[in-house]
């Protein structure tokens, strides 16, 4: 497995990380916990050293903590604060200093670690100045409880304000061939400031694998049922992007998912995607993307065709999209 550095921070991780959220929530009935622990450990044996979770992902931190307990010091765990679950099961934001410290102590315990490798603010909290948030994390770094600071889906002005108080190591943002908003301002800002990018949903929540079409039915508890981009009409319209990936994949003797990931890796050397999966075959497929070299001609062809495809459907329901800073 190749390694990459997240910006100029010195945090070096595997070129491809593993998003662990789907092992506990969001995509239907969660798989067996023991199977997921086994999958995470097999990922480590295959060279993956970067694992992503969050406080709000139910029991996911406990799962990740148990799975990675034998590999302390050999892997980097990223988790997130700032979104919590209330007694009613509804999410609420809390990035106050006391709230962050409370979240941190819980995460340390669940992850079975003495320090969080990369600690992200999960979403910008409009009720708390970002300077205050960055200052709190700066204190936690001084105390040895956090190693690196990150932000998830902030706007570029927020990044600059936070970075001025405590250097930001990584920004987590959705980025893929079907969500390219980061190219408008974000990538340029990160390059200027020396900050890494960790794209989540790099496979479009599974759509870019080519295994989903307008006839695919999701179980009732699958998050994609409420995503506008996953209506049957939108899936049918967006199939053109998958067709492009399939064409390149056939030529490269690869899969559409591998081409989608290889495209992301080719954009910048400080980009580390974190595709999630619950299947060993998919894990191996994703890891294989690291060894696929897209030539300048390949990249030009992808750009030429993709630029003519109008992606249909919003990526989130309106209420959730409002929480992002992009």
DSSP string, 189-212: HHHHHT-EEEEESTTGGGGGGT--
- H helices of 143-195, in order, are 156-165, 186-193
Task: Using 50 as the pLDDT threshold, list the residues of the chain that sit under it.
Answer: 326
In angstroms, the CA 207 to CA 202 distance is 10
> What is the 3-state composition of the chain as percent helix, strand, coil, each rounded to the nearest 5?
45, 15, 40
In this prediction, residue 49 carries a pLDDT of: 98
Tell me the sheet residues that pair with 115.
none
Cα three-residue angle 315-321-326, rounded to 5 degrees: 95
In this prediction, residue 316 carries a pLDDT of: 77
Burial classification of residue 70, based on how many CB atoms lie within 10 Å of its CB (0-12 exposed, 13-18 middle, 19 or more buried): exposed
In this prediction, residue 7 carries a pLDDT of: 87
- Asked whether the beta carbons of 81 and 140 are under 8 A apart, the reply is no
In this prediction, residue 20 carries a pLDDT of: 94
Q: 57, 119, 148, 175: which is the annotated catalytic residue?
A: 57
In angstroms, the CA 156 to CA 214 distance is 35
Burial classification of residue 256, based on how many CB atoms lie within 10 Å of its CB (0-12 exposed, 13-18 middle, 19 or more buried): buried
In this prediction, residue 153 carries a pLDDT of: 94
In this prediction, residue 326 carries a pLDDT of: 46
Cα three-residue angle 116-141-175, rounded to 5 degrees: 55
CA-derived radius of gyration, the chain:
19
- Asked whether the beta carbons of 171 and 162 are under 8 A apart, the reply is no
In angstroms, the CA 136 to CA 128 distance is 11
Rounded to the nearest 10 degrees, how much is the dihedral formed by the CA atoms of 92, 94, 99, 103?
Answer: 60
- Angle between the N-to-C axes of helices 156-165 and 186-193, in degrees from 0 to 180, rounded to the nearest 10: 20
In this prediction, residue 31 carries a pLDDT of: 87
Q: Which superfamily, per CATH, for 3-204+268-292?
A: NADP-dependent oxidoreductase domain (3.20.20.100)
- H helices of 14-96, in order, are 33-45, 60-68
In angstroms, the CA 297 to CA 292 distance is 14
In this prediction, residue 244 carries a pLDDT of: 94
User: Which of 190, 195, 236 lies closest to 215 in space, CA to CA?
Assistant: 236
Contact partners, residue 233, CB within 8 Å, separation at least 6:
214, 312
Backbone dihedral region for residue 144 (phi beyond 0: left; psi -120 to 50: alpha; all else: beta): left
- Asked whether the beta carbons of 175 and 185 are under 8 A apart, the reply is no
In this prediction, residue 71 carries a pLDDT of: 97
User: Which of 27, 21, 209 lies closest to 122 in space, CA to CA?
Assistant: 21
The answer to whether residue 119 is catalytic is no
């Amino acid at each position: 497995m190749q390694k990459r550095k997240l910006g100029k921070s010195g945090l070096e991780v595997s070129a491809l990380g593993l998003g662990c959220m789907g092992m506990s929530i969001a995509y239907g009935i969660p798989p067996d916990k023991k199977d997921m622990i086994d999958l995470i450990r097999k990922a480590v044996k295959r060279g993956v050293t970067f694992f992503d979770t969050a406080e709000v992902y139910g029991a996911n931190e406990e799962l990740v903590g148990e799975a990675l307990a034998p590999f302390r010091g050999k892997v980097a765990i990223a988790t997130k604060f700032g979104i919590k679950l209330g007694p009613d099961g509804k999410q609420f934001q809390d990035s106050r200093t006391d709230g962050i410290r409370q979240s941190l102590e819980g995460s340390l315990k669940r992850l079975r670690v003495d320090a969080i490798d990369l600690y992200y603010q999960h979403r910008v909290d409009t009720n708390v100045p970002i300077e205050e948030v960055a200052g709190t994390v700066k204190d936690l770094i001084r105390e040895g409880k956090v190693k690196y600071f990150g932000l998830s889906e902030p706007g570029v002005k927020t990044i600059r304000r936070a970075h001025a108080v405590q250097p930001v190591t990584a920004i987590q943002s959705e980025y893929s061939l079907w969500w390219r908003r980061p190219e408008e301002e974000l990538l340029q800002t990160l390059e200027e400031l020396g900050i890494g990018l960790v794209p989540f949903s790099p496979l479009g929540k599974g759509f870019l694998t080519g295994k989903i079409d307008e006839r695919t039915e999701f179980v009732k508890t699958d998050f994609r049922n409420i995503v506008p981009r996953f209506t049957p009409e939108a899936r049918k319209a967006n199939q053109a992007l998958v067709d492009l990936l399939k064409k390149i994949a056939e030529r490269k003797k690869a899969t559409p998912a591998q081409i989608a990931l290889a495209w992301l890796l080719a954009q910048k050397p400080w980009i580390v995607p974190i595709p999630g999966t619950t299947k060993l075959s998919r894990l191996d497929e994703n890891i294989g993307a690291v060894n696929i070299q897209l030539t300048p001609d390949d990249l030009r062809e992808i750009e030429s065709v993709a630029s003519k495809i109008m992606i249909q459907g919003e990526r989130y329901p309106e209420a959730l999209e409002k929480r992002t800073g992009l």
